[in-house]
Amino acid sequence: MLDKIKKDFNTMTWVLIPVAIAINVVMGEIVVQLKLPVYLDSIGTVLVGALCGPWAGALTGTLSNIIWGLAIDPNAFPWWPVAFFIGYMSGRMANWGFFKSWWKVVVTGFVVALTAAIVSTPISVYLYGGITASGSSFITAYLLQTGQGILSAVLSTGFLVEPVDKITTSMLAFAIVQGLSTRFLARFPRPENVSTEKGGKTELFIAVAVVVVLVLFAAFMLRNILGG
């Protein structure tokens, strides 16, 4: 086990982790301020998980929320277990070959989304009563008004929002990888996770197109909730 953990960490891993944390915090804070019905605070975490492995991804996610919580927004701190599992599952899916083409990345995002929804539900319910600073709380509030119980409403919101968010997040990380040279990727611990089926510009364009569609869907969803 220790050898598997050590494999995730080389010099490039330690260089990438601070950059990934900065991406997470900046994107997450923008989303919180705009009250968007997504999170987008795990792009760096998924990137590290794919390039370096599950334990490096888990560390990145954990540190992101701890640093974000201590330095900027205390509400981000309790979610570190969710960030841990996002990073771990992203890396595990990449190890299993699910970060080599755009459709496999969609599968990765969906699996990560289910994991995040399950882990985040008890935190949301017991610490925040189901209503957090995220824009997704508009959906939870709406479901509560329809008569759903708090646990059901929070879990339903998670299963609705998380796939959109995590597939978008994974595709953005995939797009970043597609923009890197093979020589540069080879410097990371697990270049085989992302290089075997690399399709160049075609894969990049597909990734961007999927992201645009998902973002538009999220905006449409929020508009309907607020308009309803």
CA–CA dist 123, 128 (Å, integer): 7
Plot region of 173 (φ>0 → left; ψ -120 to 50 → alpha; else → beta): alpha
DSSP-based three-state secondary structure for 171: helix
pLDDT (tens digit per residue) in 163-192: 888 998 999 999 899 888 889 999 999 999
The proportion of the chain whose per-residue pLDDT surpasses 70, expressed as a percent, equals 80
CA angle 125, 162, 136 (to 5 degrees): 60
Q: Is the torsion defined by CA of 208, 114, 217, 25 positive or negative?
A: negative
pLDDT (tens digit per residue) in 107-128: 999 999 999 989 988 888 887 7
Contacts of 90 (CB under 8 A, 6+ apart): 42, 45, 46, 49, 50, 54, 57, 108, 112, 170, 173
Question: Whole-model pTM?
Answer: 0.85
CA–CA dist 97, 79 (Å, integer): 28
Task: Tell me how crowded residue 41 is: count the other CB atoms within 10 A of its CB.
Answer: 29
Lowest-confidence pick of 10-19, 20-29, 30-39, 104-113: 30-39
113: enclosing H helix or E strand: helix 102-128
Task: Tell me how crowded residue 22 is: count the other CB atoms within 10 A of its CB.
Answer: 13
CA–CA dist 185, 172 (Å, integer): 17
Q: Nearest 5°: phi and psi at 180?
A: -95, 150
Please give the pLDDT value at position 44: 97
pLDDT-derived band at 85 (thresholds 50, 70, 90) equals very high
CA–CA dist 82, 85 (Å, integer): 5
Domains along the chain?
2-227 (1.10.1760.20)
- How confident is the prediction for the chain on average, in pLDDT? 85
